[in-house]
Structure 1
Amino acid sequence: MGENTVLGPQISRRTFMALSGLAGGCAALTGCSPKSPSKKEETSDKSFSPDAVTWSSCHVNCGSRCPLKVFVKDGTVVRIGNDNEGSDVFGPGEIYQMRSCVRGRTNRQRIYNDTRIQKPLRRVPGTKRGEGKYEEISWDEAISDIASTMKEIKEEYGNDAFYIQYGTGQLGGTVSKSWHPDKTMFARLMNLYGGYLRHYCDYSTGQITWELPLFNGDAWSNNEVTDLVNSKNIFLFGNNPANTRMSGSAMMYLITQVRQQNPDARIVVVDPHLSDTAVGVANQWVPIRPGTDVALVAGMIQHLLSAGKLDRDFIKEKFVGFFSDSFMEDVKAAEPKDASFMGFDKDGKLSIDQDMSYEAYLNGTGAYAGSGKKTPEWAATITGVPAATIRELADLYVDGPTATIQGWGPQRHSNGGNNTRSIALIAAITKNVGISGGGTGAREATGGVAYKVKTAIPTFPEKNSVDVCVSFFDWYRAIEDYRSMNDATWGVRHINEKGKTLYADEPGSITLKAPIKFIWNYASNVMMGQHADINECLRIYNLPDEKDSGVRMIVTVDCYLTPTALISDIILPGTTSFEEDDICTGGTAWTGFVCCESAAIKPLFEAKPVYEICTLIADKLGLKDEFTEGKSQLDWVKWSYEQGVEAGDDLPATFEEFKEKGLFKQTDTHDPAIAKQDKIATPSGKYEVFSKQAYNLSKQWDLTLGGYVPDDGRDQITGLPTYYDHFEGYNDPLRSEYPFQLIGHHGKTRTHSSYGNVAWMSSVAPQQCWINEKDAAALGIEQDDQVIVSTERGRTQLSAKVTQRIMPGVVSIPQGAWYDPASRDAATLGDKSVLDKGGCISVLTSMRPTPISKGNGVHSNLCKIEKA
């Protein structure tokens, strides 16, 4: 057992080398130090003679999964290349190159990184989670400790006490995948062991997943992005693919092609900041105050309705809840039929006796009497968008075809569900759904020609004995007070024997049976990165292990010593995708690919693939034969390939040929898909402008979450997608103390927190707080000044980006930076006064769940800024 070592997310080179000695000598590190290629290597491919070239791919969560070519010399990865096979021509029937972005090309710096975990580590007894004090232990000691704790917890609490954390750091593989958690090796292991507490939805789409269907029954369908060549107008609401999906095989490449092929299209970006997408392809940037999209849409529709530019007969035929004269009849049609819909009113008690139609809302009549007309002038005072611009935007919608694509930013506000419903409403009500060049208002569909190889191995969900699930965002409450969690407070839901999520017949009837006592954390930095309010998280993670609260064991399996790893009890070193065999699929437009990934190098240090780790644990639990079915990881890769061949994939006759070549691509000449929405999966079968599901929930649910948050009216569930003064929005009184609206955005240098430890990337675009030049001048802040951004929850320090590319009164911090506290002292751990030096926005954001989805409204924050 090694001596105790204090570890942090930015380990010094000296510490790294010292640990490498403990791991078996510096010889194990041959070639591990990231080094720039020599001038000769950079400029002359003829002089470069690798020992081997293998295929892999980028497994991070941007949506692309780009193939990567790996060059090996003397057992070391010396270069990462991209896909240079196929045509450079984009179009139907062309197998074009799936070129990766600059992030993927820096993977050598991830393989040989100072933050690589080298040996199993155990938190030093008596220290707190987050102090970062660990001791080295053997693999057998680590696995035995984990297995014995699992047995204790199962005997004491049952399988309801186990939780698999959300994580997307290893997304794209088949055997090694970390998302969806229910498809991982830990799901396979835990289901064989009796099951675990599952979660619904994810950090990307928390509200759009559950609340867009309240309007149109579907959160996902939209026209394929290649159809934008047929659009006269294109609206991008909070969508910035130039940063989020910037590779040659994803959305930004496609939309760039659209701009070239449809140069007359008017592309409008509605966003608080002038994104790289807006700079690159848009004609018009409409800066809007965060969280006010719903008011913008109301002003647009009021203008169109008063000007006689909407088809009233079409609305009466296809929509419910819009007009006053049919409202009561519409409400009856929109009543949830059973518990497969939200807000099921089993006893039929929740009747409505007043006009709550959208027409009444726009006119300020009926239930909205006294609220005034929702004119463009009204919307302008809320959104900051001039009334004339609002009218102009509205008129574009009826001068189509007009495509509407919303990113996942507008729905990540405390009123995000209403934002997302509204954006879809303006698309549908202007008759732009179901036509070429139009769209539904959901996120873009990128197309692709899929292979049929399996992208996950069986995980036996039918063996999971736990029949409830929690929101991806409010699992933390189950550590502290699981007894307060039911369907009417924290959104707990039931899973039936077929795996379908159901809602309650009676409010409060679906409850948790045990606290979360054990957390599997695989390839995930969520718990101290993507989740909110890091200081509050630290308090919760360090609650004492008692009968009804406190987590007993957190196990992290990762390649890197992330901030989340440093709140774990056991840390196990995992392999990168370049150190194991796996299979990956992807594609966009008219091309699809499958990549048979071969280990380019042996696992560094004592790292092991997740399949091997789970096999070791399964052996200790007496489940090894069931878990492996006698197969190695490579056997499962072969199984995935064989499943594709049996299903008709055009692939080589033998697996050996498949593995040898590595990358396969296919194409077709399909017409871009058009989302028709002929059958709408709402209770009425129509577009529900007024959702009786949502109205019923507003009467059934306790929005204080059982007293967890105040009854301040900042959380509302509304039948219509109306604007209200939401939590830490523009009209929150807290602005008198914290005057700026703070949002997060995706930068180019990271995918969430992945690549956050790559020096090359951070040197190109350092972590900076975007602030408007007028606001900066008033505060005496200049470009690159160090600033401290504070909310009620914490403080973080980073440099300032003084720019005109963000509207006054709003600041933005790129999400995903690694938390780096100025102190890890046990006495102040989790104190909101402790300064984060990493520029991590999650120190500042709120854990307050959103009203319906119980999701992450983490773009709604009020902050103040001062020079450091």
Structure 2
Amino acid sequence: MVQEAAGSTLRSPGISRRSFLAWSGLLGAGVALSGCAPHVEDEKASTEEPATTFEYDTVTWSGCHVNCGSRCPLKMYVKDGTVVRVGNDNDGTDDFEPGGIYQMRSCVRGRTNRQRIYNDTRVQKPLKRAEGTKRGEGVYDEISWEEAIQTIADTMKEIKDEYGNDAFYIQYGTGQLGGSVAKSWHPDSTAFARLMNLWGGYLRHYCDYSTGQINWELPLFNGDAYSNNEVTDLVNSKNIILFGNNPANTRMSGSAMQYLITQVRLQNPEAKIVVVDPHLSDTAVGVANQWVPIHPGTDMALVAGMIHYLHTNGKLDEAFIRDKFVGFYSDTFIEDVKQAEPKDTTFMGFDKDGALEITEDLSYEAYLMGTGAYAGSGEKTPEWAAAITGVSADTIRELADLFVDGPTATIQGWGPQRHSNGGNNARAIAMIATLTGNVGISGGGTGAREGTGGVPYKVATAIPTFPEKNGVDVCVSFFDWYQAIEDYQSMNDATWGVRHIDETGTTSYAETPGEITLKAPIKFIWNYASNVMMGQHADINECLRIYNLPDEKDSGVRMIVTVDCYLTPTALVSDIILPGTTAFEEDDIITGGSAWTGFVCCETAAIDPLFEAKPVYEICTLIADKLGIKDDFTEGKSQLDWVQWCYEQGVEAGEDLPATFEEFREQGLFKKTDDHTPAIAKPEKIATPSGKYEVFSKQAYNLSQQWDLTCGGYVPDDGRDQITGLPIYYSNVEGFGDEETKATYPFQLIGHHTKTRTHSSYGNVEWLKSVAPQQCWINEQDAAELGVKNGDDVVVTTERGRTQLSAKVTPRIMPGVVSIPQGAWYDPETRDPETLGSKDVLDKGGCISVLTSMRPTPISKGNGVHSNLCKIEKA
């Protein structure tokens, strides 16, 4: 396929639809899939000169559906049934002010979508894993749609008869996040959820790979994981502190955080912006005054050092803290913390019998001063914190003074909470913002992630899925589904965090530890627009072992069905692969916006589905027919009818939209604005048991006494997993203080987001790979000691596996730390069934998930995948 180099002029399409459809990479039985179909050159490629203009027949609106948070509108220019250019929103202005409608310009990722439509990893036909081969071996037979649907339906019926609906699971996936009918996230809002609920339900999960710990553990402190001042309020900040927040890579479109914070910097040039991060991110380079490098996973030690300095120097408002907080001061700790007792099962750690009374001083003041229960541990001075964090004591004091010389806005990304002790990180960062009086004021902030604002349209963003019909009344952590394949009987609330879930989707906790259990193993997995199982999840080699367990009564998955456009690594562990359509081959509707602008976009298919691809709604309709629930599933509606239904919900809500759906569809993109004052997070009631900020969480303390932190023997009882009432530093699994593991694996390994991918989406676009190849960031000093030069191939190894990629030797990462961009596609050097899943098999794709651990975090049972210790060798 002809591809244009970045920055070149565009010529008429590099490959014709006729040539594209002539690909024959999957013809014949038992074809081994390396992950892509054969490379095809257009017959005119070598003779045509690049054209300065391009021709097109039609222009339609569509959008970028991946999981960066923006969902930017895209213009699709089509000639002779082929997309020849991807354009963006160019209506409106760049005026960043109340009442202004600015352009929702996509980033470079969105503009490369032609490379995804016409990509040699497209799934062309339904595929079935070849008889006798292993999952991950990558050998498939082509089958008809009729055979695929019948095989799926027959297997579903068998599993339901044998195990009930508890054995079905819809995998987390965000490859089609933006749509309403075709959306893949949240799984409970998808076409598969509608299908399964009409058929009795499925095992649900709580939380997600982005927010595994902050979602459940920040509320232990303030009752809320997400509220923060709107980004536009940063023009009123004197100081802005970003902890592990890099929107220049994660949210870089013209309608997202990076655009907003760049505008803030222009309008508030005197603000001091500090980025606390192990690596000098593009955000720090672009907008910050100061970079504070920190050892990964030690943010709570940094916060302790700052608060010790402020506390001992009389710089905290004692009356304010005594009034609004629980658990800070020693003299009132025992009585005050009684207010924080969980009152019922809507809170974690409910103590039904009242047996978990506290009689010793566990206050934060005692922790800071090394008294009470912490006697002998020493004071948590800036010098103490410096030895752990790598941040100098003077810098710690300087940072602390910024918080009391405000208003100071505090924003944390979702990197600090993705450590094996990440919940304490999240709580601590919010605590320094709150203790210093910066919450509820203009220019301040709560310490959660940024709020980008926007003016939302009231159109529907999902079709009805009937959660009240789901008969499965338990749910698991998003990260722990794998255990339900191998040993579901070990999974209860006290081992693996299993929870009750009611017909509204509300979760609750056990009255008596151990009483909430799973009723069946996971036997069937729906995997739609998701590369989680061999991408975002951890320890790929261990995953391969689990996927290939024999199908027995109490363990082993029987069927994995993937619906995707691409032959992702996850597709290649599936039993059935169904070719789905891209967003540009179907009708849908998206919404979005930020600051003072909002939009709704009616998407119209730009081209016919390629190969034998079908929209997910059509696929679910075919399955519903085989299950005898087609009429209930469709309600007589086509996908376009459901798009119209979404539009009608907006009209009924009073939105200023065209009078007819035909006009709405023809115009495509609609934007609106207002002149609202930037929102300030002002909690009227703090949703904790005490109604106050809980520096000491009795919920967490109770869990520490009630739960089995070995997960029923799954993880070692080595003291590296802790649940603490206070958000304190401890030597966590493969963290900075893990000296035993560091003896063999001396480097702290983290992951970061790259501009060229949104998670693994766009991981198959060669244009983007050529601009920013997959590289391991390593400090110049460390590289010199290893004899590694910039661009050298290196092998990175942990206890779990090995991956190869080139080295980026740079001063932009602190010594002792290396970072690999997450989301690269797994590419093993061999798919030999004899070695499949061996940690000795070298991954050639630079996939960090070969290296990360599946050990769940203590409270949220989430993904502590930024805590890794590794070694590096020249390839």
Query: What is the TM-score when the length of structure 1 is the normalising length?
Result: 0.97
2:618 to 612, 621, 627: 612
Match of 2:770 in 1: 763
Match of 1:13 in 2: 39
Q: Does 2:246 align with 1:236?
A: no
* Aligned-partner Cα distance in 2 for 1:576–1:71: 15
1:639 to 617, 635, 645: 645
Q: Deviations over 1:38-83 (max 9, x none)?
A: 8764x34xxx331100000000000000000000000000000000
Matches within 5 A, 1:210-609: 210-609=216-615
* Aligned-partner Cα distance in 2 for 1:695–1:747: 38
Matches within 5 A, 1:20-39: none
2:684 partner amino acid: D
Give the conservation status (yes or no) of the 8 Å contact 2:36–2:122. no
Q: Deviations over 1:178-201 (max 9, x none)?
A: 000000000000000100000000
* Aligned-partner Cα distance in 1 for 2:779–2:175: 33
Q: Deviations over 1:378-401 (max 9, x none)?
A: 000000000000000000100000
Give the conservation status (yes or no) of the 8 Å contact 1:165–1:522. yes
* Aligned-partner Cα distance in 2 for 1:11–1:309: 65
* Aligned-partner Cα distance in 2 for 1:843–1:159: 32
* Aligned-partner Cα distance in 2 for 1:641–1:35: 43
Q: Deviations over 1:791-820 (max 9, x none)?
A: 000000000000000000000000000000
CA distance 1:640–1:380, change in 2 (3 Å): same
* Aligned-partner Cα distance in 2 for 1:380–1:658: 59
Q: Deviations over 1:532-590 (max 9, x none)?
A: 00000000000000000000000000000000000000000000000000000000000
Match of 2:66 in 1: 60
* Aligned-partner Cα distance in 1 for 2:316–2:238: 18
Equivalent residues, number: 848
Q: What SS does the aligned partner of 1:659 have?
A: helix
Q: Does 2:782 align with 1:775?
A: yes
Q: Deviations over 1:193-252 (max 9, x none)?
A: 100000000000000000000000000000000000000000000000000000111000
* Aligned-partner Cα distance in 1 for 2:478–2:852: 16
Match of 1:121 in 2: 127
Give the conservation status (yes or no) of the 8 Å contact 1:360–1:366. yes
* Aligned-partner Cα distance in 1 for 2:613–2:336: 60
Q: What SS does the aligned partner of 2:495 have?
A: coil
* Aligned-partner Cα distance in 2 for 1:677–1:777: 51
* Aligned-partner Cα distance in 1 for 2:585–2:47: 21
CA distance 1:58–1:497, change in 2 (3 Å): closer
* Aligned-partner Cα distance in 2 for 1:91–1:177: 32
Q: Does 2:850 align with 1:824?
A: no
RMSD of Structure 2 on Structure 1 (CA) = 1.3
* Aligned-partner Cα distance in 2 for 1:34–1:797: 36
* Aligned-partner Cα distance in 2 for 1:717–1:39: 65
Q: What SS does the aligned partner of 2:813 have?
A: coil
Q: What SS does the aligned partner of 1:642 have?
A: helix
Match of 1:28 in 2: none
Give the conservation status (yes or no) of the 8 Å contact 1:147–1:620. yes
Shift of 1:331: 1.4
Shift of 1:87: 1.6
1:210 partner amino acid: W
Q: Deviations over 1:333-374 (max 9, x none)?
A: 000000000000000000111000000000001111110000
* Aligned-partner Cα distance in 1 for 2:49–2:816: 47
2:816 to 784, 803, 809: 809
Give the conservation status (yes or no) of the 8 Å contact 2:236–2:443. yes
Match of 1:96 in 2: 102
CA distance 1:645–1:856, change in 2 (3 Å): same
Shift of 1:86: 1.3
1:4 to 30, 37, 42: 30
Give the conservation status (yes or no) of the 8 Å contact 2:116–2:762. yes
Shift of 1:3: 1.5
1:735 partner amino acid: K
Q: Deviations over 1:319-344 (max 9, x none)?
A: 00000011011111000000000000
Q: What SS does the aligned partner of 1:554 have?
A: strand
Match of 2:115 in 1: 109
Matches within 5 A, 1:748-759: 748-759=755-766
Identity of aligned residues (%): 82
Give the conservation status (yes or no) of the 8 Å contact 2:470–2:503. no
Shift of 1:9: 2.4
* Aligned-partner Cα distance in 1 for 2:152–2:325: 55
* Aligned-partner Cα distance in 1 for 2:734–2:588: 45
Q: What SS does the aligned partner of 1:55 have?
A: strand
Q: What SS does the aligned partner of 1:156 have?
A: helix
1:792 partner amino acid: E
